[in-house]
Chains A and B, each alone.
Chain A
Amino acid sequence: MNFHSFVAEFWPSTVDGLVIGFIYALFALGYTMVYGVLKLINFAHSEVFMIGTVAMLGVINVFNIHHAQSGLALVGLLLVCAVAAMIGSGGVAVILEFVAYRPLRRRGSSRLAALISAIGMSFALQEIAALWILKRRDSRPLPSIMGHNVVFTIGKAQVTTDDILVVVVSLIMLFGLDRLVGATKLGRGIRAVAQDPETATLMGVNLDRVILYTFLIGGLMAGVAAVLFEVHYSYTQFNVGQLPGIKAFTAAVLGGIGNLRGALLGGLVIGLLEFYGSSLFGTEWQNPVVFLVLVVVLLFRPTGILGESLARARA
């Protein structure tokens, strides 16, 4: 254990951890909402995210961008990227529901069957990306589209423009989703289905539509997460979603799966743990530390920090 480096790197770790934590939180929403409604791990959600990063790469290629933009051009570019990534990710999430989940639900299959079918889709999507879209298996760098200008410093940590972008955009999306689920008719439907699907259907909730929208919302959030991830890390690969996906799921479980605010809390905790863990034990132990903490949390509080229920999200 290297306490010296932990103390020295405390503020930079905190900033980096919070930034990646917000991205995990957005990513985790897809897992947590689908779990809340269907009681099912959407294993292919990491590929939904991956398609978002690929869509962003597409936009950058179309506009032929090679270096950082600024001012209005940057805002426009980010918006176009976000729209493209959201269309890509949301579309894939909807396709997933139609291809991999709905037919199984119609047949009354078990959850294991649904999980396997999701694993199958995950393989297929990864291969489609590797074979025909990216046309390569190694990682592919993206030009970083915005400069990393220092805005202010905390301790030794330099907070850059892209950090602030990530935090602000994430907070807006999370707040919007919270309102959507808490205060709209669709949100009421989602909560009703999460609570008791059968009764909800009897009360006139269109189940298939609610499930479809749940997947779509999860996909849109993953699309935004993908853009923010690219702004920060600038690379994509056919399996880019895999590791962040598992961490995002961990975040969802940690905060209390099915709980939207829990996803934010879980994401931030996971992000911080990741960076604190790597400054304490070395970067190669980053992932083992995260999973160890997950196991410990599940042992002592299996419902996560905030408790699990999409149904109890308040208006």
Chain B
Amino acid sequence: MTGVEQKPARRADGPREDLRRVGRGWNRLTGRAGRRWRRLPIPVKAVVVLVVYLALAILVPSNPVAHVMAPQSGWSNVLSEEIGVYVLMAIGLNVVVGQAGMLDLGYVAFFAVGGYSIGILTTHDHLNFWEILPIGIAAAALAGLLLGAPTLRLRGDYLAIVTLGFGLIISQAATNLNFDGGAQGISAIPHPPSIGHIKAFTYGVTDFKPYWYLVLAGIFAAIWAVRRLERSRVGRAWVAIREDEDVAELMGVPTYKMRLWAFAIGAAVGGAGGVFFATQANHIDPTLFSYQVSILVLAAVVLGGSGNMAGVVLGAFLVVWLPERFRGFDKYRILVFGLALVVMMIFRPEGLLPSRRRRAEMSEPASGGGMGAPLVAPTLEEAEA
């Protein structure tokens, strides 16, 4: 594409170039670490993961950390009920948005399916958390299939609007229907049954640390599962679809099926988030499943670095933690958040920790859907970045 108007040549040095160099150095470093990690034998990997899990499980909810992270509110509560659940949802949405490149603005629907499955099944049928977790995940995946089957044939923008509509009506439908408690919602959702008398597995009302261990385990499981998928045939098909659907189709990728898969898997993870959330919160009602949740999770994915696991985890953490930490600015938090999204999209649209492939796409207007209008041709350094 030829440049329509030429920008004045940019100076090669200066703060912006420094920043870029730092970014490139960081990318090289993480790339190297990733390659080394993949070469490790499986038992070593397992040990490392276990150590990291234990470290996170024990250190993060501890008092000194809590003092720094959330002096005004119950840290371990925030950690498991908000941060953990949002991280989980961001991992799920990342499959849809970051991997397969579909824009889902109604992700809260699957969160609601998960939450309502545990709410209804515990209060009506007296199943316990462990029995419901797979049911909730399956129900959300099924909802994903049902919603995706008709809509995934549409092109991107229409998918966005259909999912947005669906996300909006889900809370309204939940309010209107009776079997799910209507506007009052469902109260007294039981906590998971305790396992033995071990303190770490006793799910009570006051101590939230066991929930954190639980959610963290869920996050690890989700990361593991999604990672495996990303590196499989399915994952490669997703990336191919994201980069260019027509070419992918021509190369023999069953695009519709693969998109449907991505949608269902993302939904399943969101459903798990809903189950985890409801069992801790004890109570669910339609207002918890508002469309703001979808937008927050999407913002987490995009802010963190869509397509990159570490990025979306960081994004979800920031989206929940920042408003919680700076409660003094409570009034202005959504305003600041909104402006931050704009600034971020202008200066670092690929997110805080971008995936390298995604980064290349973002800086290249021809693919990944430029904005229709002709754009100033990227300078050589921009195309490289």
Partner-B contacts on A (CB < 8 A): 35, 37-41, 99-101, 103-117, 119-128, 131, 193, 197-198, 201-202, 207, 211, 243, 246, 249-250, 253, 282, 284-285, 287-288, 291, 294-295, 298-299, 302
Other-chain residue from A107, A109, A201, A249 in contact with B161 (beta carbon distance below 8 A):
A249
Extra pairs beyond A112-B369, A114-B345 (14, CB < 8 Å): A37-B372, A39-B371, A104-B371, A106-B376, A108-B376, A108-B378, A109-B371, A110-B361, A110-B362, A112-B306, A120-B344, A126-B338, A198-B4, A298-B151
Which residues on A sit within 8 Å (CB–CB) of B346? 103-104, 107, 117
Chain B residue, CB-CB nearest to A110 = B368
Chain A residues within an 8 Å CB radius of B337: 120, 123
> Closest approach, in angstroms, between the C-beta of B345 and any C-beta of chain A?
4
CA gap between A16 and B261 in the complex, in Å: 43
Chain B residue with minimal CB distance to A124? Answer: B338
B139 to chain A, nearest CB (A): 20
Sorted nearest first, the 5 A-B pairs with minimum C-beta distance are A120-B341, A123-B338, A108-B365, A124-B338, A39-B372
Min Cβ gap B371→A in Å is: 5
The size bracket of the interface on B is 35 or more
A-B contact count (CB 8 A): 178
- The answer, among A38, A126, A287, A302, for a CB contact under 8 Å with B373, is A38
Q: CB-defined interface of B306-324 with A at 8 Å, one 1/0 digit per residue?
A: 1000000000000000000
Q: How far is the CA of A288 from the CA of B170 in the complex (A)?
A: 8
B31 within 8 Å of A (CB atoms):
no
Q: Please determine whether B155 and A302 come into contact, CB atoms closer than 8 angstroms.
A: yes
B160 at the interface (CB under 8 A from A): yes
Interface: B176 (CB within 8 A): yes
**Contacting pair A112 B374 (CB below 8 A):** no
Whether the pair B342, A127 counts as a contact (CB closer than 8 A) is no
Interface centre among A100, A109, A243, A250 (most CB of B within 10 A): A109
| Partner-A contacts on B (CB < 8 A) | 1, 4, 97, 103, 150-151, 153-158, 160-162, 164-166, 168-169, 172-173, 175-176, 295, 298-299, 302, 306, 331-332, 334-335, 337-342, 344-346, 349, 361-365, 368-376, 378, 382
Tell me the nearest residue of chain A to B349, going by C-beta: A113
Which of B1, B161, B344, B382 neighbours the largest number of chain A CB atoms within 10 Å of its CB? B161
A282 to B345, CA, bound (A): 42
Question: Shortest CB–CB separation between residue B15 and chain A, in angstroms?
Answer: 17
